Amino acid sequence: MAAAAQAATAAAAADVEAALLEVGRVTRKQEACHASSLAAVSKMLQAVSAARQRLLTNAAAQPQAVLAGLHAELAGAGVAKAMTADTKELHGSVSKLGKIVDRSFSQDIAKAYKPDRPLRPAALNQVIAEHLFQEGRFQVGQLFVEEAGVAEGDALKRPYQSMHSVLQEIQRQNLSPALEWVRQHDAQLRGPGGEPSAFEFSLHRLAFLSLLKREGQAAAVAYARQHFGRFRASQMAAIQRLMGALCFSKRVAAGRASPYGDLLTEDLWGNLARDFVRQCCVLLGQAQDSPLLVTVAAGAAALPTLLKLAAVIGDQSVGELSDAEQLPVEVPLGQEFVFHSVFACPVSRDQSTADNPPMLLPCGHCICKASIFKIAKAANRSFKCPYCPAECTPRDCQELVFPDME
């Protein structure tokens, strides 16, 4: 089964590689066809322009004779024939690419579905409602809550309403509501040592830069004296750079180069808006991206591997996998989908599960529970640690629980 799964992954990669190679060929063919067609059309236009000029400048020229000469010239140059041949060749390459895509990627996605694992409608509806509220679609979210009967819909919506009201003001370049929000949540936002939050400093930094841009150095210096003092222990380097920007503000306003030009870019507002959403979601105990968005993205990334696995092992073997907690093939999703730590047993190389948790030996080394019983053969039989001379029994080992590991 494992060999088949590995073959499925390799086959999927080969299909993608073949399709990408064919895309490259089609792209090059299209560029060549485009260039040759432009040259052919240019040649035709030159011939037509020359024939027209002869008719305009030579009163004795016979139109029929000029047109016949033009036709003979174009036929002799083979312009139409060359364009037809190039277009036919391009269409052949496009057709070949279509066949490769149809053969490699036309799949029945239902093969990746486990019918014995039904979705929980209540949980799914709550995730959808929360996604709509987090995206600021309050009217649609409220209608969905009412139609789907989601419990405590108002409680789901309320914190996101507050978040989006402040976010809209940030997008209008008004920092007052955001500063008020920071004051209300000062205790939760402070750092581990009790220092003011970096997000609050970002707000004051942007307010300082806005004043410097709109009202000049005097207003910016007055704002810095009023607000930057409490950040001197944690943000001194950033404050010093802001003070340096005062000396070059007129140069930036005139459009000349400045070592502090990046401090006055408009993208600072977009970065602040994203940072505010992240801070709000942390206080709400939620990720910045909604669970629905993450689930759909992860499923889309995993789907090609699952479909190839189903195609290789067949329907009967897929049924055998329906009760398994783990797949016989690794499904790479990328670092953006890694949310917690994992423990891999150094003996078996298997990832720990609820049924096979990591165990701490008295000597301090850690291996999975299944490896302990495989080495010891019995619960009351002593065994030697695989990594040191110490001996113990399975009963002497303690299960390890990592707070951020599932």
Give tens-digit pLDDT for 47-56: 888 888 888 8
Lowest mean pLDDT: which of 78-82, 218-222, 267-271? 78-82
Res. 314 pLDDT band, cuts 50 70 90: low
| 265 and 164 in a common domain | yes
Q: Which helix (H) or strand (E) holds 15?
A: helix 2-57
Q: Both tokens of residue 205? A: 């930094």
User: Shortest CA distance to 320 belongs to which of 142, 114, 158, 140?
Assistant: 114
Res. 365 pLDDT band, cuts 50 70 90: very high
| 389 and 276 in a common domain | no
Higher pLDDT, 340 or 1: 340
Residue that has been written with the tokens 């030009």 in this structure: 261
118 domain-assigned: no
Res. 295 pLDDT band, cuts 50 70 90: confident
Taking only the tens place, the pLDDT of each residue in 68-109 is 888 887 777 777 777 888 888 888 888 888 887 777 665 667
Dihedral (C-alpha) 90, 94, 95, 97: value to the nearest 10 degrees? 140
| Helices and strands in the chain: count of H runs, count of E runs | 15, 5
Q: CA 319 to CA 111: how far, in whole Å?
A: 10
CA distances from residue 179 to 6, 76, 199, 210, 255 in whole angstroms, order as listed: 54, 77, 10, 15, 31
Res. 369 pLDDT band, cuts 50 70 90: very high
| Average pLDDT in the chain | 82
Residue at a domain's end among 252, 283, 314 = 283
Res. 324 pLDDT band, cuts 50 70 90: low
The per-residue pLDDT for 318 is 53
159 domain-assigned: yes
Mean pLDDT of 186-204: 86
Amino acid found at 41: V
Q: In the chain, what's the furthest Cα-to-Cα distance?
A: 118
Taking only the tens place, the pLDDT of each residue in 270-291 is 889 999 999 988 888 877 788 8
Q: What is the pTM of this model?
A: 0.57
Res. 143 pLDDT band, cuts 50 70 90: very high
Q: CA 93 to CA 89: how far, in whole Å?
A: 6
pLDDT surpassing 80 at residue 385: yes
Range of the domain at 395: 338-406
Degrees, nearest 5: CA angle 119-306-293: 50
The per-residue pLDDT for 366 is 93
Residue at a domain's end among 106, 141, 168 = 106
| 182 and 76 in a common domain | no
The per-residue pLDDT for 8 is 47
Is the distance from CB of 198 to CB of 235 less than 8 angstroms? Answer: yes
Q: Both tokens of residue 194? A: 């009790």
| 8 and 70 in a common domain | yes
Res. 116 pLDDT band, cuts 50 70 90: low
Residue that has been written with the tokens 């391009």 in this structure: 90
223 domain-assigned: yes
| 162 and 96 in a common domain | no
The per-residue pLDDT for 1 is 35
The per-residue pLDDT for 105 is 66
Q: How far is CA 128 from the centre of its chain?
A: 20
Lowest mean pLDDT: which of 235-249, 316-330, 345-359? 316-330
Residue at a domain's end among 84, 106, 128 = 106
Res. 257 pLDDT band, cuts 50 70 90: low
pLDDT surpassing 60 at residue 255: no
Q: Both tokens of residue 334? A: 């990328």
The per-residue pLDDT for 265 is 64
pLDDT surpassing 60 at residue 254: no
| 76 and 12 in a common domain | yes
Q: CA 286 to CA 381: how far, in whole Å?
A: 46
Give the CATH number for residue 356: 3.30.40.10
pLDDT surpassing 50 at residue 4: no
Q: Give the total number of structural domains in the chain.
A: 3
Degrees, nearest 5: CA angle 204-207-211: 140
